Chains A and B, each alone.
Chain A
Amino acid sequence: MTTPHASSAPARSISTGHLPGWAPWAILLGSMAISAAVFGVAQGAGDIADFNIAGTLFVGMVIYIVLIVVVSTIAESRRHATDRLMTALISTAFVIACLPLISLLWTVVSNGIARMDAEFFSFSMRNIIGEGGGAVHAVWGTLIITGLAALISVPIGLMTSIYLIEYGNGNRLSKSITFFVDVMTGIPSIVAGLFIYSVFALLLGPGVRMGIMGALALSVLMIPVVVRGSEEMLRIVPNELREASYALGVPKWLTIVKVVLPTAIAGITTSVMLAIARVIGETAPLLLTAGFVQNLQVNPFESSNGQMMTLPVFVYNEFMYPSASSPGASLERAWAAALTLLLIVMVLNLLARLISKLFAPKTSGR
């Protein structure tokens, strides 16, 4: 990184042969302006609302890529041109990935806000044929089933991660548990639903639908996420804390309960909330195990007519089987339920980040 000060050329600085830092931005702005102008003219007298934003951005990006490569080839070198091309492509990839997220959030919010009213949260779909009605039965079902799933999977997941970190010591069993937990993360959610259905069909006869079945199916999906999350959190608890505790003569299990877990509790809470956020939106397993119903059902252990509605299944049902008389009302309900679901997931995510940020233990290094 030394300047070639020995060179005889006058006023040759380190940035010679490079485009100035503002140049790519200027070219980007210029390309977008050209593209917008072209589209504006092509639109002519047309309505300004029809202005093709996606097309403008796309053509603008293409113009930018061509321009920056040409300019860079002339001003710098072929190699720098390749570098600039790849920078442009990689940044574009990132923007492309953000667009669906923005579009999705916008669509769900703008369509869902219409039915986010008191009626939506105080009525079920019982005896509702056309407009009106609500999702109170689905909200309750989601809360009950997800709560039960968390109740089942948090202890199992947490104890498993304790085994892996504190007792397993990398032996055969812990290695295979780690491997199968990883593989279990990839089980298709619908297969989890089929599994629970098969078990209960053998026990209680075919066609059975119960809230607890939904909770069990969700915990099959949730346990591996909890294990992975809390395992990472237990791992970063400094070993010195454990050793200090042992040196004071504290038994191992008390060390874990009183020293290790409190240190890691913020991270564990975060991973549990992220796991809940992940399973609360699962549709397929609930469709197979908890079924769907139009009225409020709060007993997850009811075995005859035990169907429980949940928010994701509510969205699915209102979309796939809209009411014949007013399909628009069904779709509005679907959007509103989707917005509710999205809000729950986002709040859970934000809370999880907040908890991990506020209560994170001070760790050294990474």
Chain B
Amino acid sequence: MSISEKAHAPDAPHSPPTVKTRARKRPGDLAFSGASLGAGIIILIVLAATAFFLIAQSIPAFATDPADNPMLEGQSFWSYALPLLFGTLWSSLLALIIATPIAIGIALFISHYAPRKLAAVLGYVIDLLAAVPSVVFGLWGALFFSGFLQPFYVTLTNTLGTVPVLDLLFAGPVSASGRTIMTAALVLAVMILPIMTAICREVFLQTPKLHEEAALALGATRWEMIRMSVLPFARGGMVSGAMLGLGRALGETMAVTMVLSGSPIVAFQLLQSGNPQSIAANIALHFPEAYGTGVNTLIATGLILFIVTFAVNAIARWLVNRRAEFSGAN
């Protein structure tokens, strides 16, 4: 990032202000710069159009009577959408809690523990994780991983399910198939690991070498060096990596759709068979059969998802960019 500001191509030759010589504008130049400018503007238009069309298509969901709406069936829009929003936030938050320490661990392992040659290969392995299509993750999570985890869930319920505070999360009865919100969150965690690792690795590698060497020279062990010089330097980057991961998890559809058989409820229990549904999964499940204002209702929930992820991503990117600016100063 920091190189970017310095490496721009020279524009028309800088001449002293008194002499007015400008590079001749050839037709080819005009066409080419116009085309590239147009492409850039198309992107902005697409983003604006996304917001515009989603809003335009969700208005009927609010404007019409809920009783006539095949998706709402008489209940108000918010009583339909809020449990879904809860499901989205809850599953993503769980995934984030699981994935963050592991992602930081992997990134540290690649940047500071593994031998240099091995690190490149390991980075590639993590990138492979990112390349696996989400539907394959969903299939694996539903048919293999949930069955694999189910015995552990039984143990968890038996041990933690009776502890006063924890029983809010781990109370039984355990789902017999293992296809619970916990499994969905674990699959989501695996899916958001690569992006979080990539960001963390990048900021860890940007730690000034002198800080690290100074810490080591003072007799710090490797972990003390990481705690004193790497982690404080990378705090902003780690936060934004986590936010980007959160954004990914919020919008992820297939893992939740295929792993869970959810329903629009608000429930904190992780291991039972009744599970909250997420917005994206709800759209994927009901969109093919939706008609009339039902479609508009689903689009309106999509708009909520869009706003939430947009905000999360914008904050994360803002943090990354702010960090990039002050890291260029060292």
Contact = CB atoms under 8 A, between A and B. Distances in A.
A and B bind: yes
A183 B314 contact: yes
Contacts of A281: 132-136
A346 B124 CA distance: 12
Nearest to A274: B131
B78 interface: no
Interface stretch (A8-16, A30-38, A114-122, A189-197): A189-197
A284 B253 contact: yes
A97 B193 contact: yes
A255 to B, nearest CB: 9
B103 to A, nearest CB: 8
A103 B124 CA distance: 17
B287 A341 contact: no
B109 A91 contact: yes
Contacts, number: 296
A129 interface: no
A254 B28 contact: yes
Contacts of B313: 182-183, 185-186
Interface string A243-273: 1001000011110110000000000000000
Contacts of B284: 190, 283-284, 287-288
B283 to A, nearest CB: 6
B50 A82 contact: no
Contacts of A67: none
Contacts of A189: 251, 253
A354 interface: no
Contacts of B309: 186-188, 191
Interface stretch (A21-29, A39-47, A294-302, A315-323): A315-323
A242 B10 contact: yes
B124 to A, nearest CB: 7
Given A188-B305, A190-B251, A206-B295, A180 B44 contact: yes
Interface residues of B, number: 103
A341 B309 CA distance: 27
A68 B14 CA distance: 65
A100 B299 CA distance: 34
A74 interface: no
Interface stretch (B137-145, B156-164, B172-180, B264-272): B137-145
Nearest to A313: B135
Given A191-B305, A319-B258, A163 B53 contact: no
B165 interface: no
A223 B56 CA distance: 24
Contacts of B131: 274, 277-278, 345-346, 349
B3 A235 contact: yes
A198 B53 contact: yes
A198 B43 contact: no
Interface string A208-234: 000000000000100110010000000
Contacts of A174: 40
B160 to A, nearest CB: 17
Interface centre among B11, B39, B104, B128 (most CB of A within 10 A): B39
B43 A223 contact: yes
A173 B41 CA distance: 9
B240 to A, nearest CB: 11
A94 B139 contact: no
Contacts of B237: none
A80 B224 CA distance: 9
Given A246-B10, A283-B135, A319-B258, A198 B283 contact: no
B142 to A, nearest CB: 7
Contacts of B4: 235
A305 interface: no
A316 B44 contact: no
Interface centre among B142, B257, B298 (most CB of A within 10 A): B257
Given A107-B144, A169-B8, A188-B251, A253 B47 contact: no
Contacts of A243: 10
A220 B10 CA distance: 31
A128 interface: no
A280 B133 contact: yes
B83 interface: no
Nearest to B31: A253
22 contacts: A82-B223, A83-B222, A90-B105, A94-B110, A97-B106, A158-B39, A159-B38, A174-B40, A177-B44, A179-B317, A184-B46, A184-B47, A188-B251, A197-B299, A235-B3, A251-B29, A283-B134, A284-B280, A287-B287, A288-B287, A319-B143, A345-B132
Interface of B: 3-5, 7-11, 13, 23, 26, 28-29, 31-33, 35-40, 42-44, 46-47, 49-50, 53-54, 56-57, 101-102, 104-106, 108-110, 113, 122, 124-129, 131-140, 142-145, 190, 193, 197, 221-224, 226, 244, 247-248, 250-254, 257-258, 280, 283-284, 287-288, 291-292, 295, 298-299, 302, 305-306, 309-310, 312-314, 316-317, 320-321
Interface of A: 79-80, 82-83, 85-87, 89-94, 96-98, 100-101, 103-104, 107-108, 111, 155-160, 162-170, 173-174, 176-177, 179-192, 194-195, 197-199, 201-202, 206-207, 220, 223-224, 227, 235-236, 239, 242-243, 246, 251-254, 256-257, 274, 277-278, 280-284, 287-288, 291-292, 312, 315-316, 319-320, 331, 334-335, 338, 341-342, 345-346, 349, 353
List 3 tightest A-B contacts by C-beta distance, closest first.
A281-B133, A188-B251, A93-B105
